[in-house]
Amino acid sequence: MKKQILAAAVAASVSAVALADISITGAAKVNYTNVDVSGSTPDTNKFTQETDLKIKGKNGDTEVVVNFGGASLDNTASTSDARTGSSNNMNVEDVYVTTKIAGVNLKAGTWDNGNNELRASSRADGKFNATTSVGGIDLGFATGSNGASQEEFTVGTNVGGVALSYTKKATGETVKASTSLGGVNVKYLGLPSDTANNDAHYVEVSTKVGDVDVKVGQATADSANTIAGDTWMGDYEGNTSGAYMLSAGQDVQAIELKTAMAGNTVTFRNVKIDGVANEDTDFNKLIVTRPLASGATFELTYTALDDTVNANDSDTLDLELAVSF
């Protein structure tokens, strides 16, 4: 009898596990980077690795998401054993719950709001979002633990094929518009500010010419605004490895050409940074990406930087092996 009860308990446990809607996804990459700075010897050589993991549990319309990130190791660690450095830990980055009540989508917890072409991303605790759609109008409300300083009201719609969105924040606004006409995609992002000389704007045009994807973008900032963020135009967050710190008032112009060639994806980018006297900078970037039979992806990135700020021209070679699951 005891064996029968035990068997039934085990069977029930296995059944519960089998019915649970749980998914685990993630990604990992290993990079070798060589940097040759003009007038500086020797070259800088470094191996780094980074791992990210996402766990998602779902029951009906309710999901719980936990993102782990970090575990970044490199051969420049100050400790004798790189595995013991505090920066090498897997950190809990995002933890949030999403659900739906009476047609309203709810999200609460901690998450990163993502980069865009004008500002860097940010993460905060105690965030709350509510979104819904009424008669073709998208409505959104967001807040956080700091109350009014984090409140945002968003309204969005589509007018004649143009997607429009407006967000009112405590100290400014976000304006978005995008459309496609005759195979040409146009995107606009504006960050008007209540602070004088602190507006920023971004315009992007993309299309396909033959077998080549072409994209052109321009980000402009007023004299008191500094463009940040990590996008296809460059990493301007300034607080991470490989990032470039811009000055207030500097503008960014970029063009990207992408095509398939012999089983590879080949991308070329030219970026020009200007707007402040004696601080013009430009760089050319060549990226070759190839999927491998092992399931991993190999990527070669070569960057030639012409930096007039400190006269520190540099050539950077980055070899990356990445996998996602």
pLDDT tens column, 68-118:
987 555 444 433 333 333 455 678 899 999 999 999 999 999 999 988 999
Kindly report the CA angle at 174 between 170 and 176, in degrees rounded to 5? 160
Tell me how far apart the alpha carbons of residues 166 and 257 are, in angstroms, rounded to a whole number: 31
- The closest of 36, 33, 25, 35 to 49, measured between CA atoms, is 33
Before 42, cis peptide (omega within 30)?
yes
- What is the DSSP track for 81-124? SGGG-GGGSEEEEEEEEEEEETTEEEEEEEEE----SSS---EE
**Burial (0-12, 13-18, 19+ Cβ within 10 Å), 105:** middle
**Burial (0-12, 13-18, 19+ Cβ within 10 Å), 14:** exposed
Please report the pLDDT score of residue 83 as a whole number. Answer: 32
| Alpha helices, H only, the chain | 2-19
**pLDDT one-digit tens code per residue, 183-205:** 999 999 999 998 999 999 999 99
Query: Residue written as tokens 């865009």?
Result: 116
Domains of the chain: 21-324 (2.40.160.10)
pTM: 0.84
Could you give the dihedral angle defined by the CA atoms of residues 190, 192, 197 and 201, in that order, rounded to the nearest 10 degrees?
0
Q: Which residues pair with 219 in a beta bridge?
A: 202, 252
Tell me how far apart the alpha carbons of residues 284 and 272 are, in angstroms, rounded to a whole number: 9
Please report the pLDDT score of residue 111 as a whole number. Answer: 94
Cα distances (Å, whole numbers) of residue 133 to 126, 139, 142: 24, 6, 15
Cα distances (Å, whole numbers) of residue 11 to 5, 15, 21, 23: 10, 6, 18, 22
Collapsing DSSP to helix, strand or coil, 9 comes out as helix
Tell me how far apart the alpha carbons of residues 322 and 324 are, in angstroms, rounded to a whole number: 7
- The closest of 267, 277, 276 to 303, measured between CA atoms, is 267
Please report the pLDDT score of residue 278 as a whole number. Answer: 65
Please report the pLDDT score of residue 203 as a whole number. Answer: 98
Handedness of CA 73, 74, 79, 80 (dihedral sign): positive
Collapsing DSSP to helix, strand or coil, 25 comes out as strand
Q: Please compute, for residue 309, the number of CA atoms within 13 A of its CA located in the half-sphere on the CB side.
A: 16
β-pairing, 230-231 with 234-235?
antiparallel
**Residues of the chain falling short of pLDDT 70:** 1-20, 40, 71-89, 239-242, 275, 277-279, 308-311
